[in-house]
Protein backbone atom coordinates (compact mmCIF):
# COMPACT_ATOMS: atom_id res chain seq x y z
CA UNK A 1 0.00 0.00 0.00
CA UNK A 2 2.72 2.45 1.00
CA UNK A 3 4.84 1.48 -2.01
CA UNK A 4 1.91 1.97 -4.40
CA UNK A 5 1.14 5.37 -2.89
CA UNK A 6 4.78 6.44 -3.14
CA UNK A 7 4.98 5.35 -6.77
CA UNK A 8 1.83 7.26 -7.69
CA UNK A 9 3.06 10.33 -5.83
CA UNK A 10 6.39 10.17 -7.64
CA UNK A 11 4.75 9.72 -11.05
CA UNK A 12 2.39 12.62 -10.40
CA UNK A 13 5.27 14.82 -9.30
CA UNK A 14 7.30 13.98 -12.41
CA UNK A 15 4.32 14.71 -14.67
CA UNK A 16 3.78 18.01 -12.90
CA UNK A 17 7.41 19.03 -13.37
CA UNK A 18 7.29 18.00 -17.03
CA UNK A 19 4.14 20.06 -17.60
CA UNK A 20 5.67 23.05 -15.82
CA UNK A 21 8.77 22.84 -17.99
CA UNK A 22 6.66 22.51 -21.13
CA UNK A 23 4.59 25.54 -20.08
CA UNK A 24 7.73 27.64 -19.62
CA UNK A 25 9.00 26.51 -23.01
CA UNK A 26 5.70 27.49 -24.66
CA UNK A 27 5.75 30.87 -22.92
CA UNK A 28 9.27 31.81 -23.96
CA UNK A 29 8.83 30.50 -27.49
CA UNK A 30 5.59 32.43 -27.94
CA UNK A 31 7.28 35.58 -26.60
CA UNK A 32 10.09 35.01 -29.10
CA UNK A 33 7.68 34.82 -32.05
CA UNK A 34 5.75 37.88 -30.86
CA UNK A 35 8.82 40.05 -30.28
CA UNK A 36 11.49 38.70 -32.61
CA UNK A 37 9.64 36.73 -35.25
CA UNK A 38 10.19 39.54 -37.79
CA UNK A 39 13.89 38.67 -37.85
CA UNK A 40 12.97 35.39 -39.52
CA UNK A 41 10.23 36.94 -41.64
CA UNK A 42 7.70 34.90 -39.63
CA UNK A 43 5.73 37.43 -37.65
CA UNK A 44 2.56 36.65 -35.74
CA UNK A 45 -0.31 37.35 -38.12
CA UNK A 46 -2.86 39.94 -37.00
CA UNK A 47 -6.10 38.34 -38.32
CA UNK A 48 -5.86 35.35 -35.93
CA UNK A 49 -5.10 37.77 -33.09
CA UNK A 50 -8.15 39.88 -33.88
CA UNK A 51 -10.30 36.75 -34.16
CA UNK A 52 -9.16 35.61 -30.71
CA UNK A 53 -9.71 39.11 -29.28
CA UNK A 54 -13.24 39.08 -30.64
CA UNK A 55 -13.97 35.71 -29.04
CA UNK A 56 -12.22 36.41 -25.74
CA UNK A 57 -13.31 40.01 -25.25
CA UNK A 58 -16.11 41.41 -27.40
CA UNK A 59 -18.35 38.35 -27.32
CA UNK A 60 -17.90 38.10 -23.54
CA UNK A 61 -19.10 41.66 -22.82
CA UNK A 62 -22.76 40.77 -22.06
CA UNK A 63 -21.91 38.16 -19.40
CA UNK A 64 -19.09 40.35 -18.03
CA UNK A 65 -21.53 43.24 -17.66
CA UNK A 66 -24.11 41.12 -15.84
CA UNK A 67 -21.60 39.50 -13.47
CA UNK A 68 -19.72 42.72 -12.68
CA UNK A 69 -22.87 44.74 -12.03
CA UNK A 70 -24.27 41.98 -9.81
CA UNK A 71 -21.05 41.67 -7.82
CA UNK A 72 -20.93 45.44 -7.29
CA UNK A 73 -24.48 45.35 -5.93
CA UNK A 74 -23.70 42.31 -3.78
CA UNK A 75 -20.73 44.08 -2.21
CA UNK A 76 -22.90 47.13 -1.50
CA UNK A 77 -25.64 44.99 0.08
CA UNK A 78 -23.23 43.11 2.34
CA UNK A 79 -21.13 46.17 3.11
CA UNK A 80 -24.03 48.38 4.09
CA UNK A 81 -25.63 45.64 6.21
CA UNK A 82 -22.34 45.04 8.04
CA UNK A 83 -21.33 48.68 8.52
CA UNK A 84 -24.82 49.69 9.65
CA UNK A 85 -24.11 47.78 12.87
CA UNK A 86 -21.41 50.36 13.63
CA UNK A 87 -23.27 53.33 12.20
CA UNK A 88 -20.64 53.70 9.48
CA UNK A 89 -22.58 52.67 6.37
CA UNK A 90 -21.32 55.74 4.50
CA UNK A 91 -17.87 54.10 4.42
CA UNK A 92 -19.20 51.38 2.13
CA UNK A 93 -17.92 53.35 -0.87
CA UNK A 94 -14.33 52.71 0.20
CA UNK A 95 -14.95 49.00 0.62
CA UNK A 96 -16.66 48.67 -2.76
CA UNK A 97 -13.97 50.66 -4.57
CA UNK A 98 -11.06 48.67 -3.19
CA UNK A 99 -12.74 45.26 -3.37
CA UNK A 100 -13.85 45.70 -6.98
CA UNK A 101 -10.63 47.10 -8.40
CA UNK A 102 -8.11 45.06 -6.41
CA UNK A 103 -9.79 41.69 -6.15
CA UNK A 104 -13.16 40.92 -7.65
CA UNK A 105 -12.83 42.32 -11.17
CA UNK A 106 -9.57 40.54 -12.12
CA UNK A 107 -10.61 37.35 -10.31
CA UNK A 108 -14.05 37.11 -11.88
CA UNK A 109 -12.74 37.96 -15.34
CA UNK A 110 -9.97 35.37 -15.00
CA UNK A 111 -12.40 32.63 -13.93
CA UNK A 112 -14.90 33.59 -16.63
CA UNK A 113 -12.32 33.59 -19.43
CA UNK A 114 -10.82 30.33 -18.18
CA UNK A 115 -14.19 28.63 -18.33
CA UNK A 116 -15.30 30.23 -21.57
CA UNK A 117 -12.24 30.78 -23.76
CA UNK A 118 -9.66 28.55 -22.07
CA UNK A 119 -11.86 25.51 -22.48
CA UNK A 120 -12.47 26.36 -26.14
CA UNK A 121 -8.71 26.64 -26.76
CA UNK A 122 -8.00 23.30 -25.09
CA UNK A 123 -10.77 21.57 -27.05
CA UNK A 124 -9.65 23.10 -30.34
CA UNK A 125 -6.00 22.15 -29.90
CA UNK A 126 -6.93 18.70 -28.62
CA UNK A 127 -9.06 18.08 -31.70
CA UNK A 128 -6.26 19.27 -33.96
CA UNK A 129 -3.84 16.99 -32.13
CA UNK A 130 -6.06 13.95 -32.70
CA UNK A 131 -6.54 14.83 -36.36
CA UNK A 132 -2.73 15.16 -36.70
CA UNK A 133 -3.11 18.75 -37.87
CA UNK A 134 -0.35 19.82 -35.46
CA UNK A 135 2.04 17.32 -37.05
CA UNK A 136 0.97 18.56 -40.49
CA UNK A 137 1.94 22.11 -39.53
CA UNK A 138 5.40 20.94 -38.49
CA UNK A 139 5.81 18.96 -41.72
CA UNK A 140 5.14 22.00 -43.91
CA UNK A 141 7.52 24.13 -41.85
CA UNK A 142 5.04 26.15 -39.77
CA UNK A 143 5.75 26.46 -36.05
CA UNK A 144 2.61 25.45 -34.09
CA UNK A 145 3.64 27.86 -31.36
CA UNK A 146 3.83 30.81 -33.77
CA UNK A 147 0.66 29.81 -35.60
CA UNK A 148 -1.50 28.79 -32.63
CA UNK A 149 -0.07 29.79 -29.23
CA UNK A 150 1.35 33.27 -29.91
CA UNK A 151 -1.87 34.79 -31.36
CA UNK A 152 -3.92 33.45 -28.45
CA UNK A 153 -1.34 34.67 -25.93
CA UNK A 154 -1.25 38.16 -27.44
CA UNK A 155 -5.05 38.35 -27.55
CA UNK A 156 -5.28 37.25 -23.91
CA UNK A 157 -2.67 39.81 -22.81
CA UNK A 158 -4.65 42.58 -24.50
CA UNK A 159 -8.20 41.58 -23.68
CA UNK A 160 -7.99 40.46 -20.03
CA UNK A 161 -6.75 43.85 -18.74
CA UNK A 162 -9.31 45.55 -20.99
CA UNK A 163 -12.13 43.38 -19.66
CA UNK A 164 -10.88 43.91 -16.11
CA UNK A 165 -10.98 47.70 -16.47
CA UNK A 166 -14.46 47.47 -17.98
CA UNK A 167 -15.53 45.24 -15.08
CA UNK A 168 -14.14 47.84 -12.65
CA UNK A 169 -16.42 50.50 -14.11
CA UNK A 170 -19.51 48.29 -14.23
CA UNK A 171 -18.91 46.88 -10.75
CA UNK A 172 -18.54 50.36 -9.26
CA UNK A 173 -21.73 51.39 -11.04
CA UNK A 174 -23.58 48.42 -9.56
CA UNK A 175 -22.41 49.38 -6.07
CA UNK A 176 -23.44 52.98 -6.71
CA UNK A 177 -26.94 52.04 -7.85
CA UNK A 178 -27.65 50.05 -4.70
CA UNK A 179 -26.02 52.67 -2.47
CA UNK A 180 -28.24 55.32 -4.03
CA UNK A 181 -31.28 53.12 -3.37
CA UNK A 182 -30.44 52.16 0.22
CA UNK A 183 -28.58 55.22 1.52
CA UNK A 184 -30.23 57.92 -0.56
CA UNK A 185 -26.79 58.87 -1.89
CA UNK A 186 -26.74 60.44 -5.34
CA UNK A 187 -24.67 58.78 -8.04
CA UNK A 188 -22.68 61.99 -8.40
CA UNK A 189 -21.77 61.96 -4.70
CA UNK A 190 -20.91 58.26 -4.96
CA UNK A 191 -18.67 58.90 -7.98
CA UNK A 192 -16.92 61.84 -6.27
CA UNK A 193 -16.27 59.75 -3.16
CA UNK A 194 -15.00 56.83 -5.26
CA UNK A 195 -12.56 59.06 -7.13
CA UNK A 196 -11.43 60.50 -3.81
CA UNK A 197 -10.63 57.17 -2.16
CA UNK A 198 -9.25 55.27 -5.18
CA UNK A 199 -5.60 55.46 -6.12
CA UNK A 200 -4.04 54.62 -9.45
CA UNK A 201 -2.17 51.78 -7.74
CA UNK A 202 -5.49 50.17 -6.75
CA UNK A 203 -6.52 49.92 -10.40
CA UNK A 204 -3.10 48.87 -11.70
CA UNK A 205 -2.93 46.12 -9.07
CA UNK A 206 -5.95 44.48 -10.67
CA UNK A 207 -4.58 45.02 -14.18
CA UNK A 208 -1.26 43.38 -13.29
CA UNK A 209 -3.14 40.41 -11.88
CA UNK A 210 -5.12 40.10 -15.10
CA UNK A 211 -1.89 39.91 -17.14
CA UNK A 212 -0.67 37.02 -14.99
CA UNK A 213 -4.06 35.32 -15.28
CA UNK A 214 -3.91 35.72 -19.07
CA UNK A 215 -0.60 33.86 -19.20
CA UNK A 216 -1.90 31.14 -16.86
CA UNK A 217 -5.06 30.53 -18.90
CA UNK A 218 -3.21 30.40 -22.20
CA UNK A 219 -0.44 28.09 -21.05
CA UNK A 220 -2.69 25.68 -19.15
CA UNK A 221 -5.09 25.47 -22.10
CA UNK A 222 -2.37 24.73 -24.64
CA UNK A 223 -0.42 22.33 -22.45
CA UNK A 224 -3.56 20.25 -21.93
CA UNK A 225 -4.59 20.55 -25.57
CA UNK A 226 -1.21 19.44 -26.90
CA UNK A 227 -1.18 16.47 -24.50
CA UNK A 228 -4.39 14.88 -25.85
CA UNK A 229 -3.84 11.31 -27.05
CA UNK A 230 -7.04 9.32 -26.45
CA UNK A 231 -9.54 10.47 -29.04
CA UNK A 232 -12.77 12.31 -28.23
CA UNK A 233 -12.70 11.14 -24.62
CA UNK A 234 -9.22 12.63 -24.27
CA UNK A 235 -10.45 15.97 -25.61
CA UNK A 236 -13.20 16.05 -22.99
CA UNK A 237 -10.81 15.20 -20.17
CA UNK A 238 -8.25 17.77 -21.35
CA UNK A 239 -10.92 20.47 -21.57
CA UNK A 240 -12.20 19.75 -18.07
CA UNK A 241 -8.68 19.55 -16.64
CA UNK A 242 -7.76 22.80 -18.35
CA UNK A 243 -10.62 24.70 -16.73
CA UNK A 244 -10.08 23.20 -13.28
CA UNK A 245 -6.31 23.83 -13.29
CA UNK A 246 -6.67 27.34 -14.70
CA UNK A 247 -9.13 28.38 -11.99
CA UNK A 248 -7.00 26.73 -9.30
CA UNK A 249 -3.82 28.49 -10.42
CA UNK A 250 -5.68 31.80 -10.80
CA UNK A 251 -6.95 31.67 -7.22
CA UNK A 252 -3.51 30.70 -5.89
CA UNK A 253 -1.80 33.45 -7.93
CA UNK A 254 -4.37 35.96 -6.69
CA UNK A 255 -3.63 35.00 -3.09
CA UNK A 256 0.12 35.36 -3.63
CA UNK A 257 -0.31 38.70 -5.40
CA UNK A 258 -2.57 40.02 -2.65
CA UNK A 259 -0.14 39.02 0.06
CA UNK A 260 2.89 40.69 -1.48
CA UNK A 261 1.07 43.80 -2.72
CA UNK A 262 -0.47 44.53 0.67
CA UNK A 263 2.71 44.04 2.74
Spell out the per-residue pLDDT of the chain, length 263, in tens.
677 778 787 887 888 888 888 888 899 989 888 888 877 778 888 898 999 999 998 999 999 999 999 999 999 998 888 888 887 777 888 889 999 999 999 999 999 999 999 999 999 998 888 888 888 888 888 888 898 999 999 999 999 999 999 999 999 999 999 988 888 888 888 888 899 989 898 999 999 999 999 999 999 999 998 888 877 788 888 899 999 999 999 999 999 988 887 76
How far is Cα of residue 241 from the mean position of the Cα atoms in its chain? 16
Number of H helices, E strands in the chain: 12, 0
Query: Whole-angstrom Cα distance, residue 166 to residue 30?
Result: 27
Q: What is the DSSP letter of 91?
A: G
Full-model pTM: 0.91
Residue 199 has φ and ψ, to the nearest 5°, of -115, 160
Q: How many CA atoms lie within 13 A of 186 on its CB side?
A: 3
Amino acid sequence: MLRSFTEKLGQTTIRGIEELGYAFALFFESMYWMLLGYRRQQTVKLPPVFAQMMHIGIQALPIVTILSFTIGMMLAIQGIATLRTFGAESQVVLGIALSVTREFSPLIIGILVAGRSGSALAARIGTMQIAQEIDALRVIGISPVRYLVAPAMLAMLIMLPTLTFFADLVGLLGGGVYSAFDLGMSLQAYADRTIEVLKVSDITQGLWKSLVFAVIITLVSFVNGFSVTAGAEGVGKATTRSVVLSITYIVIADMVFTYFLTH
